[in-house]
Amino acid sequence: MPVTKGEYQVFRNACPRNCYDTCSMQTYVKDQRIQFVEGAPESSFTDGGLCVKGYSYVQQVYAKDRITHPLRQVPRGSGHWERISWDTALETIARKIREIEEKDGSLHGLCLATGSGNHGITNNSPDGMMSSLGYTTRTRGTPCWPAGIDAQAYDMGEMWCNDPEDLVKSRYIILWGVNPAWCSIHSMKFIYEARERGARIIVIDPLFTQTAAKADLYCQVKAGTDGILALGMARVIIEEGLTDPDFLSNHTLGYERFTAYLDQQICLAQVSEICGIPESEIRSMARDFASIKPATIWVGYGMQRHTNGGANVRAIDALGALTGNIGKPGGGVRYGHKTNRIFNYYAASMSPPQGAGPGKDRFINTNRLAQEILDAENPPIRMLWNTCRNPFSQDFNRPLLERAFKKLELVVCVEQFMTMTCEQADIVLPVTTLFEEDTLNVAYWHYWLALNEKAIAPVGECRSNTRIAMDLSEKMNQLFPGSCTFPTHLTSEEWISREFNDRVYEMFGITSWKDLKSGPVKAVIPREAWGDGRFATPSGKYEFYSKLAQSHGHKALPEVVPGRKPSAPFRILTPHSKFSIHSQFQNLDYMTAFNPEPCVRIHPKAAAQKGICDKDLVRVFNDQGQIVVRSRLTTTVPQDTLVLHEAWFKNKGYCVQNLVDDQSSDMGVFKTGSPGVAIHDQFADIEKISPAARRFPFNFWKTR
């Protein structure tokens, strides 16, 4: 839209959500109110545009139901809320912290549960706040991508991928279990440009996604069999002499053992039967991937959310090594990277107070929060501080989580909206949006760094996570002198400046963080991961055979690892919606207008066998719990699969986690501290709700 110079104040912002694109933004303010946002034109990745969620940010800031002042609920879960002052809230929390320490002789009864709701660098302050109090309990791990991180660490030493902008150089692109048309829309323009230059686009996915609809070839693999498919392709490549001898000879370890395994254990006819893909198609894909150079594979995070997820990623990695595509422009096996995360993380790195004594923090598995709270003893977990996370909507084993929260003595939620988790809290503290705080952000996909400027004053009484930590520290020391070391009077600029070091300045080609006020900057590092042929493994080579993996209890080779056995007629897949990121955005009225209610997607033939018609009210259930929702018939899902998109729908009792247990994936401990979770190895049944049954309310949360 046309903008008259001087009509608006323009601020630099960076979307801090857990998303591939991490968009660089410009925010237009008039009369101290945000008018609209757009993508920053300086970033060749964001390229001036945003996704549908990004354009809804203005409504997030000014939503009528946004929490803008501290709240207290008495008793917990009753819905009886009262407005309280910040001073009352902080004093209540401070006195509870001291009570825990006096009762137990330590602060292990205080647990911090953080998630991926805000990736701003200084937003690591809740960790620093806990450290500044003493030795506490922390959640460790992530549900998002740990199995794949470990897999690539065993193969290559670290997770590192080519600059996504170099996709334009690829001539054969396999999008394996990823849906960028919904989840990384800015990457799509590079994929389209690659096609215009002659590239072929292949999608391998159990679901016929929007990305699959735009591909040259779609392969509907059976969920959880991706690794077997990759090993079948590997056997074809080796049998037909399509490998890269130079790369294998100079840059890999264990190739002969891998070849022997494939020769003895992998039969293409069996692979075809297991994966549901014709043998001729497997051969054709393998030949094309090995022959058309450069070729690349983008491995999605959903694909490794199985009990054999890490093993699957290792098998796919092997395709890149066999063909010598790793380290090449337009090549590589792309998953993500952390090469740009070399900040000081000062806000997270505080020292305990004097007198805390020798000790260490207690860590629990973030993906088994409910069970870990119930199991914790000596001392038990008494208080939970929850921020950037919505466990009741996003965590696993929902009925068990209810039991766990009943054990807690105080629950504090730092939030913007009355989420399902806030409904189970004692105190809710209102937190700022990205437009009301200063920080900076880097991506785990592209190579850009962006500053996030405070564009408006915080709405109501909202405070940033860092400000909350400062204020709690001040209150603790006021009541109990010397009890907290978290700084209390640093400015936003001082917080940001303390995150930088010479390595950061060199990586991004700037001399001061203030250079970012002119726009985002791109890392000055090689665009091709492992381009020098030197890997970060113990051998310095790509390792088909990993003794490190073996020492951690896994197979040394990328071998076939069976998935979880079905426990009900249908597999449940819970992918992301294009209208939300986990439990964010879908609650906004803008999103509700596009996507008014949740549904379960079912194949027409499966629906017919169950007597279900389109838009019928149905019950999806398993031993874990149930969901009552409307059906939508579609041929985009397999006949043995039910699809329920994960999202928090405001004022609706919809939660896919009612059906998802906390079964771990095979890897994740090595690099993230806890195993991943097998979100897509879940099973359930479905039935139509009779007109008579509709008269009785269903309990959405309890087990059957």
Task: Please name the helix (run of DSSP H) or strand (run of DSSP E) that holds residue 71, with its range, or none.
Answer: strand 71-73
pLDDT at 704: 36
The predicted structure's pLDDT at residue 526: 83
CATH of domain 570-695: 2.40.40.20
Distance CA 530, CA 546 (A): 18
CA distances from 39 to 188, 433, 616 (A): 16, 17, 41
Taking only the tens place, the pLDDT of each residue in 539-550 is 999 999 999 999
Q: Which of 387-396, 472-481, 693-702 has the lowest mean pLDDT?
A: 693-702
User: How large is the average pLDDT for residues 134-140?
Assistant: 97
Delimiting residues of CATH 3.40.228.10 domain(s) in the chain:
146-338+527-551
Torsion angle of C-alpha atoms 496, 336, 579, 606, degrees rounded to 10: -160
Assign 284 to helix, strand or coil. Answer: helix
Check residue 690 and give its pLDDT: 82
pLDDT of residue 694: 60
Residue 691 has pLDDT above 90, yes or no: no
Mean pLDDT of 197-202: 98
User: Quick one: average pLDDT of 239-247?
Assistant: 98
C-alpha 611/C-alpha 631 separation (Å) is: 12
Fold classification of 85-139+342-427+458-522 is: Rossmann fold (3.40.50)
Give the pLDDT confidence score for residue 617 in this predicted structure: 97
> Would the pLDDT of 627 be above 80?
yes
Q: What pLDDT is recorded for position 398?
A: 86
Residue with tokens 């990623």: 313
* Cα–Cα distance for residue pair 89/68, rounded to 1 Å: 14
In this prediction, residue 703 has a pLDDT band, given cuts at 50, 70 and 90, of very low
Q: What is the pLDDT of residue 695?
A: 53
Q: What rounded mean pLDDT belongs to the chain? A: 95
Mean pLDDT of 273-284: 97
* Residue-level pLDDT at 572: 97
Mean pLDDT of 603-632: 97
* Confidence grade of residue 689 (pLDDT, cut at 50, 70, 90): very high
DSSP alpha helix (H) spans, 266-304: 268-275, 279-291
In percent, how much of the chain has pLDDT > 90?
94
| Res 575: pLDDT | 95
pLDDT at 699 over 50: no
Among 388, 417, 414, residue whose Cα is nearest residue 60: 417
Residues of the chain with CATH 3.40.50.740: 85-139+342-427+458-522
The Cα 513–Cα 496 span in angstroms is: 8
- Separation of alpha carbons 525 and 342, rounded Å: 13
77-122 tens-digit pLDDT: 999 999 999 999 999 999 999 999 999 999 999 999 999 889 999 9
Separation of first and last alpha carbons in the chain: 54
Which residue did the predictor score with more confidence, 650 or 311? 311
**What pLDDT is recorded for position 441?**
96
Tokens representing residue 593 in the block: 């207008």
Write the pLDDT tens digit of every residue in 401-421: 999 999 999 999 999 999 999
- Output the pLDDT for position 357: 72
CA distance 305 to 632: 25
Least Cα distance to 595 among 614, 574, 580 occurs for 580
**Residue pLDDT, tens place only, 320-351:** 999 999 999 999 999 999 999 999 999 999 99
What whole-number distance in Å separates Cα of residue 282 and Cα of residue 268? 8
Query: Boundaries of CATH 2.40.40.20 in the chain?
Result: 570-695
**E strand or H helix at 401:** helix 398-407
User: Is residue 5 pLDDT above 80, yes or no?
Assistant: no
CATH number of 146-338+527-551: 3.40.228.10
Mean pLDDT of 497-522: 96
CA distances in angstroms from 517 to 95, 156, 451, 513, listed in the order given = 41, 36, 7, 8
Cα–Cα distance measured from residue 683 to residue 679, given in angstroms and rounded to the nearest whole number: 10
The pLDDT, as a whole number, for residue 180 is 97
- Mean pLDDT to the nearest integer, 493-514: 96
Summarised one tens digit per residue, pLDDT across range 287-300 is 999 999 999 999 99
Quote the percentage of the chain above a pLDDT of 70: 97
**Stated pTM of the model:** 0.96
Strands 71-73 and 427-430: antiparallel
Backbone angles phi, psi at 615, to 5 degrees: 70, 15
If you average pLDDT over residues 584-592, what whole number do you get? 93
